[in-house]
Structure 1
């Protein structure tokens, strides 16, 4: 078994690891998009609710208190969702970094295997050339011996 062939199982493992990390990154990206969409929808709702509660007129003190309390709850929900979005974004960055590392590891092994294959090819070419040279030399010797009585 050649050195390049011994690397093949390791190459498969690194490729599988890279694929798994890429899949994980895709899942994290999807989760981030969902969390961002929830945040955007909540923000739109909060912005719409911030507009004057009733067209014209005034609110009763109890209704105004309820309105203020609800806006406070919306603001809290917005802050919490913003934290969830930030956390999801950080998770994506971690996975992206893991993918870059896995990709780099795989590329290094691929380059090493290619280098081994190239060296093995050069060795095989030199061996074949030596064999051809030896065969040619034997034919010349044999022709010379056959022509000299």
Structure 2
């Protein structure tokens, strides 16, 4: 039967793979979040540029002014919507990071347990080896003592 430490190895490998998968998901979420923030910034810049007052001397008839106001309103809605997307993206990234921390903690605990088992197994093996050496030395010494006692008589 395999030692306890070796029986944990497949479980540790599975947990490590799961941790790696979660790490990849975190990286994907972070990349998505960065992309969504960049879109928000671009929208905000565009809205700021568009909302600046028209050039002096430019005349706007009422229909163009109404179109301009409607477009600015739509831009502001798009900015607000993108802000919500960025917030959700940030929250999803934080959830994935928390999952990664948990997966990492589980893997670490199993690795420490396996290391503890290995240490105990090594200690037991060392004790067994020492006992065998002591027994062997005792067996070698016993005939020598018997011969020495016979000579002294």
TM-score, structure 1 as length reference: 0.97
Corresponding residue for residue 19 of structure 1: 20
Corresponding residue for residue 2 of structure 1: 3
Q: Which sections of structure 2, spanning at least 5 residues, go unmatched?
A: none
Corresponding residue for residue 147 of structure 1: 148
Task: Note the alpha carbon deviations across 1:71-121, whole angstroms, 9 max, x for none.
Answer: 000001001111111111011000000000000000000000000000000
Corresponding residue for residue 60 of structure 2: 59
Corresponding residue for residue 121 of structure 1: 122
Corresponding residue for residue 69 of structure 1: 70
Give the deviation of 1:42 after TM superposition: 0.6
Q: Distance in 2 between matches of 1:30 and 1:7?
A: 34
Task: Note the alpha carbon deviations across 1:99-149, whole angstroms, 9 max, x for none.
Answer: 000000000000000000000000000000001111111111111122333
Q: Distance in 2 between matches of 1:52 and 1:133?
A: 97
Corresponding residue for residue 89 of structure 1: 90
Q: Secondary structure at the match of 1:148?
A: helix
TM-score, structure 2 as length reference: 0.94
The size of the alignment, in residue pairs, is 149
Corresponding residue for residue 36 of structure 1: 37
Q: Distance in 2 between matches of 1:113 and 1:68?
A: 67
Q: Secondary structure at the match of 2:59?
A: coil
The Cα RMSD (Å) is 0.9
Corresponding residue for residue 113 of structure 2: 112
Q: Distance in 2 between matches of 1:141 and 1:69?
A: 107
Corresponding residue for residue 103 of structure 1: 104
Give the deviation of 1:57 after TM superposition: 4.0
Give the deviation of 1:56 after TM superposition: 3.0
